[in-house]
C-alpha cells in the first residue's frame, strides 16, 4: 500500500500529486481530504455543420459573421436565422479591428487555457455590427485594459479549428 503524505497548503498538495499521484489536504478547519490524480482523456468527434464556414474562415485569417437577408441585422457571432425577424442569414466578413465593449480576467480555464491562466476575455464590438464577439485578449496587462480600447484580431499560425484560433491584441 502506498503511503499518503499530509499537507496543509494546497500548493504543496499539488506538487505532491504531480510527483506521487496522491496526497491528503488538511484544510484550516482540520478536515482531511484525500486528493488523487486521475487523468481523463476522451476523443470527441463532432461536426460544426452550419457553422463550419466560420471555423474554416478562422484558418484563413478571416472573421465571419452573418447578416439577415430580410432586415439586414448583422451578427458578430454567426446565426443561421435572424433572431429579430426569423429570416435566413448569409455569411459576411467582419472587420479585423474593433474595440473592447467589456472584459474580464479569468483565473481558471479549461484545459485549452490552463497554461495561460490567468487570461483576459474581451467582448469586442465592431463598427456597423449589431452583436458582440467574445474572445481572448492577449499580450495586454489587466491594468492596461479599458472600455473602448482598440483591438485587432490575430489568428493561430497552425489552426486547430477551435474558437481559440482567433484572439485579439491591442491595436
The 10s digit of each residue's pLDDT in 77-115 is 999 999 999 999 999 999 999 999 999 999 888 877 888
Overall average pLDDT of the 43-49 stretch: 87
Strands 97-106, 89-93: pairing is unpaired
Under a CB-based contact definition with an 8 Å cutoff, are residues 125 and 132 in contact?
yes
- Cell output for 143: 491594468
CA angle 156, 161, 166 (to 5 degrees): 40
Residue 2 has pLDDT above 70, yes or no: no
Residue 144 has pLDDT above 50, yes or no: yes
Element at 53 (helix H, strand E): helix 52-59
Cα-based distances in Å from 150 to 62, 89, 95, 98, 121: 18, 28, 12, 6, 14
Query: What's the mean pLDDT when you consider all of the chain?
Result: 91
Amino acid at each position: 500500500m502506498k503511503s499518503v503524505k499530509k499537507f496543509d497548503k494546497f500548493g504543496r498538495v499539488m506538487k505532491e500529486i504531480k510527483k506521487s499521484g496522491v496526497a491528503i489536504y488538511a484544510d484550516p478547519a482540520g478536515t482531511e481530504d484525500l486528493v488523487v490524480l486521475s487523468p481523463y482523456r476522451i476523443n470527441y468527434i463532432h461536426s460544426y455543420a452550419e457553422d463550419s464556414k466560420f471555423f474554416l474562415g478562422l484558418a484563413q485569417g478571416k472573421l465571419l459573421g452573418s447578416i439577415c437577408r430580410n432586415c439586414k441585422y448583422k451578427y458578430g457571432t454567426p446565426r443561421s436565422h435572424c433572431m429579430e425577424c426569423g429570416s435566413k442569414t448569409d455569411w459576411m466578413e467582419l472587420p479585423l479591428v474593433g474595440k473592447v465593449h467589456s472584459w474580464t480576467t479569468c483565473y481558471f480555464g479549461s484545459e485549452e487555457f490552463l497554461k495561460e491562466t490567468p487570461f483576459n476575455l474581451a467582448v469586442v464590438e465592431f463598427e456597423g455590427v449589431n452583436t458582440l464577439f467574445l474572445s481572448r485578449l492577449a499580450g495586454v496587462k489587466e491594468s492596461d485594459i479599458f472600455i473602448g480600447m482598440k483591438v485587432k484580431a490575430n489568428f493561430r499560425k497552425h489552426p486547430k479549428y477551435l474558437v481559440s484560433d482567433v484572439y485579439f491584441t491591442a491595436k
